[in-house]
Structure 1
Amino acid sequence: MLYKVLAFFQFIIIVVLIVALGSHYVSFGGSSLVVRTPEAPGESTVEYTPPPPPKVMVESLAQIKELKEAFTPTIVKVTDDIYYARGYALGGVQMVITDEGLVIIDTTESLDAAREILAEFRKITDKPVKYIIYTHGHVDHIVGAPVFMGPDTQVIATEDCVEFMKKDFGWLAPFQRRCRKIQSGDMDPEYARKPPMQSKVRLSHTAGEKDIVWPTITFDQEYSFELGGKEFKLYHTIGETPDHLMVWMPQEKALFPGDLYYASFPNLHTPMLEPRPVRGWYESLDRMAKMDAEYLIPGHSFEIIGAREIKETLEAHSAGIKSVFDQTIECINQGLNVEEAVAKVKLPPNLAAREHLQEVYGRVDWSVRGIYQGETGWYDGHGSGLNPLPSSYANREVVKLAGGADKLLVRAIELQKANEHQLVCELCDVVIKANPKDKTARAIKADSLDYLGYQSGNLNMFGFYRSAAAMERKAAGIKIE
């Protein structure tokens, strides 16, 4: 009997302890999380006088001169049988003459540019086009193909190129067109400032699956053919895209690297598009450097002639890409966030000093962001980003704490006069996200975006900023006179 009494009291004690412990961790009051929509601030009333239009910086003049030269329509005679059309559009075209016909490598982004190029090629030879080779499926390499097609022309690409083209010109085509339009600075041109030089980019913003010449011959890793006594070896070399290939002519020692080489630090990541296979890029360049090419004819920028210079250039590009990739992976493994990695990762001084690795097209910081995007997830582990509120919520609270939109925009105008244009844009974004109808904030931001573009020294950056400024002015209803 005593045993049963003790057991009963033991049971009561256990129940009390469980209830006490549970009440510490479990709420029995039925409370719920509060999600409150903050009130939007009123539109600002601050007076704003736009600054004078930005001017081209002195250090950019040499770059503009080089760009003008690169975009001057030119047919380059590389050898007696190899010709390179550059400067007619963003993408170049290579022609190889054989006894039995022509091989065309890439076709530009424009039917008009392709017609101009073909007319020049026809002054050199009237032989039929037997093969077109796509180095990859980007718009600036394939859209002009119909101009070069003959009744018996075959089009060669990797198997992956077909799937890549289905995405870019099929189910994701509207997004791709918008991204390319923004990148080239062509968004809402009536609201944009006139650029310091006229762009030769002729991206098609309407091309879809029905407008494209699809490959008729595809391969996985390697493909070879002979035409008129000349041998062509094609190798799948991923890098800028997963479908990329290079063309090697062993007898001529001529190498066509597509977009895996051009005279700039490469665009390892285009800010609005998918991550790129960076490891494959530097591995492909290593492979090219070992081929002892005497002629390097890229899809963009100038050709290089001479085995030693080609080898050194390709090795430097590979080393630069690998260094940025390895440093970024180290940052990821150390637990650094992307902003900390962007501040830390730099090209080694010996590579940063090389003329062909200047950041005129691609950028190291964009590359770091792209590698993070490709190698990690979207959550940083710090909690607030796991289930975030709309950005307008916090921004409305910030505007309220600041004492209204006018307070923030007065400070933005002060910063604009001090040439702190990035901070101007970010302050204006607070106001715009709190109240998208605030026209003054958009006008201030647009002018600072113009300055950022002119000060960037980077072709892609200029295009992005020009489009962004135009979109802000359009939202504010401000046209450029």
Structure 2
Amino acid sequence: MRLARLALLISATFAVMSASAAPKPATPLTEQSHAEWLRKLPFSDRADYEDAKRGLVARFPERTIKTADGNVAWDFDAYAFESAADAPSTVNPSLWRLAQLNNEAGLFKVSDRVYQIRGNDLANMTIVEGDTGLIVIDTLLTAETARAGLDLYYANRPRKPIVAVIYTHSHVDHFGGVRGLVSEADVKAGKVAILAPHGFMDEAVSENVLAGTAMSRRAQFMYGINLPKSATGQVDTGLGKATARGTMTLIAPTVLIEKPIDTRRIDGVDIEFQLTPGTEAPAEMNIYLPQFRTLCIAENAVRTQHNLLTLRGAPVRDAKAWSYFLAQSLLRYGNRSDVLVGQHHWPTWGREKIVELLSDQRDMYAYLNDQTLRLMNQGYTPLDIAGQLKSLPPALANKWYARDYYGSVSHNVRAVYQRYLGFYDGNPAHLNPLPPVPAARKTIEWMGGADAVLAKLRDAYARGEYRWVAQIGNELVFADPSNAAARALQADALEQLGYQSENATWRNIYLSGAMELRDGVRQSGAAGTSSSDLVRALTVPNFFDFLAVRLNADKAAGKTMTLNWRFSDLNQRYAMTLRNSALTYVAEAEHAQPTATVTLSKATLDQISLKQLTLPQAIQSGAVRIDGNPQAVAGLFGMLDTFESGFNLVTPRGHQQ
């Protein structure tokens, strides 16, 4: 889970939920689509249902996990509606199956001395019993869910202290709960070691920060944050039920794994680390426990096709590298493993099944990468390729763990194209097209006007051509967002696409779009504050980079400024320059004759970033000293934009419904 998801949780956790227009039922054509799914996939295979429950030690005793102020961080009853055996007509039966499996929550025994906490957050917590203490692999997203998981473990197993925490990778759902398990004081005292892959801190605190606001807005659609949990709303995320609401924390690693293969002994447990950079996360590693013949595959193999490009937006992942490292894991550990655990979903038992799963997932990412490149080199465009590679080869497509629940063939092949060739498909007509609104207005005008287009769209909807209705309906909505009939029909089409979708994130995006077309954009109420741990972990260059992104070029036009920044506690200096509406800086340098020199501590900068302190207050208290032009810094901050995440997605920017 990337830092953009953190921004999402900050902005949306306490969003004001207004009454929504009632969703529509599934159409007969959607019900027909579901019947076809039931025919083409092996629903009689119930092995995953048995494995998802295997080793159950105890369920969570309480029906909710709460934060210190009484808010609900996790509700175990939120998905009680999914207990029905048969999928309702508004949910794809394949997705319904996964949603039921992801509902299994509790403490599970995986093998001797290896346990998992599952079903109380998006990810899993794995606990390895050492000779005198516990080794925790990944900590969930929030301190509250992590503490509840540890409490459940202690209620059923001997109470041993935690001696080590291992972060498998740099996504926040795998480290955000750490303070619910251990204290920073114990870490500093050497009582608890925290291990992470090389590059963890840089990726954990800086990945996607610069585009975080836009990503958080898109992630609201991807995870269905504002959708009700119901058969006509959010039913799953593909990786798990949902993201917990609570306190996200971070304690920096004390040990970094830097060698490709690194073997260590922790509290009597031999652990072999395999670095897998550039796969599911930029900083990630697998973990092998030879004494227990157990392989933790981190998030490199899950029970779904994963994303090569997340729909909230992020740098494209490398399918070739992903396939390569899975091949290396298979070669090194496949014949030595009796159980494979992932940090999402349930384990795989048995050497043959482990080899098959790793082989299939290796082949899946290789197929997506290589077949996209093959068609790309034949001159096909992203949508051409998505149209030709509609699914994986049948032998793979019939495996439940290769289905399109989170990633999809459609958007993953387009991601591969983007990784190699970028956004432009080579067609000159696509080089400099009109922006969405003027293009939509001209399109609708050429098609005979809004009434004529609406009539054709209604006919297409009646024929079940929901993708086409969504595509052309979008043009009509952007040409005239006040056209209530157009918005309503567009919403109806998106809704049916959501009901039909096997992919949890596609469903959430379609249904979120339908909701906002009907109800408008929901604005946040009393927003939570960002995680102070993550803000403190940002480096000064991280902060300056974000200042540069916020600089409004029009406000800065014609202005020049040079600032020296001195951080008294870090003994660091930076020379910053404002020129040509661009804000740049150089580390370990100073201007000879600056406009002003700013002296402060990193802790003061953190307080300003967290809005615990304003710049004038900091100056008045002496926490910030400015030598030279006293108005320079205030002038710079006056040129900065403030980003709001409630911008429009399914209607033109600036349109108020």
Q: Is residue 2:357 matched to residue 1:318? A: no
Unaligned runs of 5+ in 2: 1-20, 39-91, 523-657
Inter-partner Cα distance in structure 1 for 2:387 and 2:462: 26
TM-aligned CA deviation for residue 439 of structure 1: 3.1
Inter-partner Cα distance in structure 2 for 1:191 and 1:263: 23
Structure 1 match to 2:53: none
The 8 Å contact of residues 189 and 470 in structure 1, kept in 2 or not, is answered as: no
**CA pair 361-450 structure 1, distance change in 2 beyond 3 A:** same
The 8 Å contact of residues 382 and 425 in structure 2, kept in 1 or not, is answered as: no
Q: Which protein shows a greater Rg?
A: 1
Q: Bigger shift: 60-69 or 114-123?
A: 60-69
> TM-score of the superposition, structure 2-length normalised?
0.61
The letter for the 1-side match of 2:342 is: P
Match of 1:277 among 318, 323, 329: 318
Inter-partner Cα distance in structure 2 for 1:394 and 1:450: 25
Match of 1:246 among 265, 286, 300: 286
The 8 Å contact of residues 298 and 343 in structure 2, kept in 1 or not, is answered as: yes
Match of 1:306 among 322, 346, 350: 350
Structure 2 match to 1:179: 218
Q: Give the SS at the match of 1:251.
A: helix
Q: Is residue 2:132 matched to residue 1:100? A: yes
**CA pair 205-409 structure 1, distance change in 2 beyond 3 A:** farther
Structure 2 match to 1:425: 470
Q: Give the SS at the match of 2:150.
A: helix
Q: Could you list the per-position Cα deviations for residues 292-319 of structure 1 after superposition, in whole angstroms to 9, with x for gaps in the alignment?
A: 2111001111201111110111011111
Bigger RCO of structures 1 and 2 (CA < 8 A, at least 6 apart): 1
Q: Is residue 2:109 matched to residue 1:77? A: yes
Q: Give the SS at the match of 2:291.
A: coil
Q: Is residue 2:386 matched to residue 1:342? A: yes
Aligned runs of 1:103-142 on 2, under 5 Å? 103-123=135-155, 124-142=157-175
Inter-partner Cα distance in structure 1 for 2:229 and 2:126: 35
> TM-score of the superposition, structure 1-length normalised?
0.81
**CA pair 279-197 structure 1, distance change in 2 beyond 3 A:** closer
The letter for the 1-side match of 2:323 is: Y
Q: Give the SS at the match of 2:423.
A: coil
Inter-partner Cα distance in structure 2 for 1:50 and 1:414: 23
Structure 2 match to 1:264: 304
The 8 Å contact of residues 195 and 253 in structure 2, kept in 1 or not, is answered as: yes
Inter-partner Cα distance in structure 1 for 2:197 and 2:273: 9
The 8 Å contact of residues 282 and 317 in structure 1, kept in 2 or not, is answered as: yes
TM-aligned CA deviation for residue 328 of structure 1: 0.7
Would you say how many aligned residue pairs link Structure 1 and Structure 2?
426
As a proportion of its length, which structure holds more helix?
1
Structure 2 match to 1:374: 419
Q: Could you list the per-position Cα deviations for residues 390-411 of structure 1 after superposition, in whole angstroms to 9, with x for gaps in the alignment?
A: 1222221121122321221222
Inter-partner Cα distance in structure 1 for 2:393 and 2:235: 32
Inter-partner Cα distance in structure 2 for 1:378 and 1:153: 46
Match of 2:458 among 398, 403, 413: 413
Q: Give the SS at the match of 2:135.
A: strand
Inter-partner Cα distance in structure 1 for 2:469 and 2:23: 13
Structure 2 match to 1:86: 118
Unaligned runs of 5+ in 1: 1-48
The 8 Å contact of residues 92 and 299 in structure 1, kept in 2 or not, is answered as: yes
CA RMSD of superposed structures (Å)? 2.7
Identity of aligned residues (%): 26
Q: Bigger shift: 181-190 or 302-311?
A: 181-190
Structure 1 match to 2:495: 450
TM-aligned CA deviation for residue 90 of structure 1: 1.5
Q: Could you list the per-position Cα deviations for residues 361-412 of structure 1 after superposition, in whole angstroms to 9, with x for gaps in the alignment?
A: 3211111011111111222222123233212222211211223212212222
The 8 Å contact of residues 95 and 504 in structure 2, kept in 1 or not, is answered as: no
Inter-partner Cα distance in structure 1 for 2:453 and 2:162: 62
TM-aligned CA deviation for residue 180 of structure 1: 3.0
The 8 Å contact of residues 142 and 247 in structure 2, kept in 1 or not, is answered as: no
The 8 Å contact of residues 179 and 272 in structure 1, kept in 2 or not, is answered as: yes
Q: Is residue 2:86 matched to residue 1:53? A: no
